[in-house]
Structure 1
């Protein structure tokens, strides 16, 4: 068996950012393409049949593709400055799990596939789980093709450059019909397993969350000649909004609201900005609470903007409702993992999107730092390598 740590070590230099110490692997960047090529090579070395579907999802098949397939996998893209395990751990563990099953002499009664989903993080085009949203019809093809990245490149152009015909993206009932169940292994992105002192857990649910863009428009002007009283500065307004967003979310039990991206235009040192864009990630176990929080934030932004002689517009870019995973599948996963606890998570995953159309489950691997979307994200070697056997136990039960 090839150890999970060995597989991850082979890609540890791909997409690393010297400045942050983390990784930048946006979809169809050079780094993410290199990772996709690595996966294809590892899958083919195991005799798996690899194909790319119209939405850019990679599929590696053990057995003839068909209905009732057991599918596992994850993603290879990252957030800016992300960690080494978010996504790739699930892919590497899936490859290693195939080795484990073969070493056991196990012959699957059903086809097994490893899937690699593009743009799970949404770091390039702003829509999380984009590949699985397209596959299931949760995102319209026309809306997807119009998405642009920070450089102004459209998704249609980027996908075309990556070898994916943008005219063919969208709902794919034929591919969905092949999936009997989907099980995603992922690094835990919080402290649940640390506090319980367990290596693995079964996912119970995913908190609903949305991504929203706020544009604050004012009046661009000269930093040296414009008196303070004469300014309509959108950056001053936007900065005040960010502070208030944290206060509003903090007043709601179990809510989370984050501004992680903030872009003044044009961004010159001696220039009063003409506009500012920033993005809000908002989450809560109750979708209605999240909606009410965003409505409060929208009203607050409008009031602060008006006080500064500016205007603010809040637009929803994506929405994922709270997801409860298939209870029967969760019990089967739990029965294959001795004494594994059940955890809910605040992080989104492709498994959460697929849950609306196929039975879906997840298992989490302990992260001793409790930190994710950061270079400090971690999995100890023993847990990483043990995750392959744990996943193999789950898959063996489902494939029998």
Structure 2
């Protein structure tokens, strides 16, 4: 199937017709349908599919020599953020299949295997930790902690994996799989306006992380409780949101509170507790850490007069990822001097870079919007991305 046909097959899955965004959360029906699509595309090409213990999938194209080691892995993920765009993740998977088709069409003779990966729970939309599948694979998260992660529906990661036919006790680093990978190249839609050419190469991923703030007060009646008697956690939470913007401006970072949970959530009830999630990113580790510290301090100061307690927990953090320079420069050279640029978005490539040489290709996004329905890439640019990925795979797997 062509790129256009594969894209058309995936496009309706998990789409919210009212809002236009996508809801493909790990191991929910839409994401399972995407997984089935992946398996169908692999079988159509006669590729061998490997399921690792962490929910990741790899479709293998092996050379005639039978070589299994020093493989070139590509791909991305199939899950989405709430109300996300169509391109974030799936573009890399569809492009990988299309690039393999292009290499086969040209009669390319492999010296090393090529794998197409689809990583689990990259967005962290269901269990709160981004790149969970690749973190487990690379040993970047404690398996016991991962098993206990709980989604909004109250189900744990272990329970969901078990119901999907996987063994939650088997999750964790897969040194055998990693030992067979020579390098990883992930194609992804660019998630800002920095790329002005159809295709670019990533230089680095800036430090980024997620923190959970818990504000505990006292639930009460909105009409009969005097202001002086209230222990309203919404007030210090609101101060925390404002403090995040101010701290980011002071430290040259970005900070976002994009998710909040209010208990009990009634219009006529004072909240008993509020949970807010802070996403902070920036050019340097100390700037990001300082931003979070300042937000925490501001939240605690705001909470005291309202007799509200504050707890802060780090859910995930990734230090700066400086992609392998040799691999990065090789990609840029193969593509005739493609522009090289950093990104503020996290990716599986950033996690895997701690274990294998990793690099990324970006496809231009004219809207500059991501994690929202307006995320977009022109078809000609997508096809240019396929051509670029095919050239890179040919150079790495045949050179």
Q: Which deviations, in whole Å up to 9, do the C-alpha atoms of 1:49-71 show, x marking residues without a partner?
A: 11211111101000157220000
- Structure 2 residue corresponding to 1:318, chosen from 292, 310, 316: 316
C-alpha distance in 2 between matches for 1:163 and 1:389 = 37
C-alpha distance in 1 between matches for 2:187 and 2:342 = 14
Is the contact made by 2:49 and 2:60 (CA closer than 8 Å) also made in structure 1? yes
Return 5+ residue gaps in structure 1 as ranges.
none
- Residue 97 of structure 2 is matched in structure 1 by 95
Is the contact made by 1:301 and 1:312 (CA closer than 8 Å) also made in structure 2? yes
Is the contact made by 1:222 and 1:271 (CA closer than 8 Å) also made in structure 2? yes
C-alpha distance in 1 between matches for 2:46 and 2:2 = 18
Q: Which deviations, in whole Å up to 9, do the C-alpha atoms of 1:16-51 show, x marking residues without a partner?
A: 123421000010010000000001100110111112
Is the contact made by 2:121 and 2:133 (CA closer than 8 Å) also made in structure 1? yes
What is the count of residue pairs matched by the alignment? 395
C-alpha distance in 1 between matches for 2:4 and 2:348 = 23
C-alpha distance in 2 between matches for 1:205 and 1:3 = 31
C-alpha distance in 1 between matches for 2:97 and 2:32 = 18
- Residue 234 of structure 1 is matched in structure 2 by 233
Q: Equivalent residues in 2 for 1:1-400 (5 A)?
A: 2-63=1-62, 64=66, 66-193=68-195, 197-253=196-252, 255-400=253-398
C-alpha distance in 1 between matches for 2:118 and 2:373 = 22
Structure 1 221/281 Cα, relative in aligned 2: closer, same or farther at 3 Å? Answer: same
C-alpha distance in 1 between matches for 2:210 and 2:4 = 33
1:386 is displaced (CA, Å) by: 2.1
Is the contact made by 1:57 and 1:117 (CA closer than 8 Å) also made in structure 2? yes
Q: For residue 365 of structure 2, give the secondary structure of its aligned residue in structure 1.
A: coil
Is the contact made by 1:5 and 1:385 (CA closer than 8 Å) also made in structure 2? no
Give runs of ≥4 in structure 1 deviating > 3 Å.
Answer: none
C-alpha distance in 2 between matches for 1:161 and 1:336 = 44
Q: For residue 238 of structure 1, give the secondary structure of its aligned residue in structure 2.
A: helix
C-alpha distance in 2 between matches for 1:222 and 1:19 = 35
C-alpha distance in 2 between matches for 1:355 and 1:174 = 16
C-alpha distance in 2 between matches for 1:109 and 1:146 = 42
Q: Which deviations, in whole Å up to 9, do the C-alpha atoms of 1:234-287 show, x marking residues without a partner?
A: 01221121112111111222x010000011101011110000001000011211
1:288 is displaced (CA, Å) by: 1.5
Return 5+ residue gaps in structure 2 as ranges.
none
Is the contact made by 2:240 and 2:296 (CA closer than 8 Å) also made in structure 1? no
Q: Which deviations, in whole Å up to 9, do the C-alpha atoms of 1:160-211 show, x marking residues without a partner?
A: 1122110110011111101100000000000011xxx310101000011110
Is the contact made by 2:199 and 2:384 (CA closer than 8 Å) also made in structure 1? no
Q: TM-score if structure 1 supplies the norm length?
A: 0.97
Q: Which deviations, in whole Å up to 9, do the C-alpha atoms of 1:310-338 show, x marking residues without a partner?
A: 11111100011110000000111111212
1:86 is displaced (CA, Å) by: 0.1
**Aligned-CA RMSD value:** 1.0
C-alpha distance in 2 between matches for 1:386 and 1:55 = 32
Q: For residue 153 of structure 2, give the secondary structure of its aligned residue in structure 1.
A: coil
1:226 is displaced (CA, Å) by: 0.4
Q: After the TM superposition, which of the residue ranges 226-235 and 34-43 deviates more from structure 2?
A: 226-235
Q: Which deviations, in whole Å up to 9, do the C-alpha atoms of 1:352-382 show, x marking residues without a partner?
A: 0000110000000000101000000001111
C-alpha distance in 1 between matches for 2:42 and 2:385 = 18
C-alpha distance in 2 between matches for 1:96 and 1:218 = 54
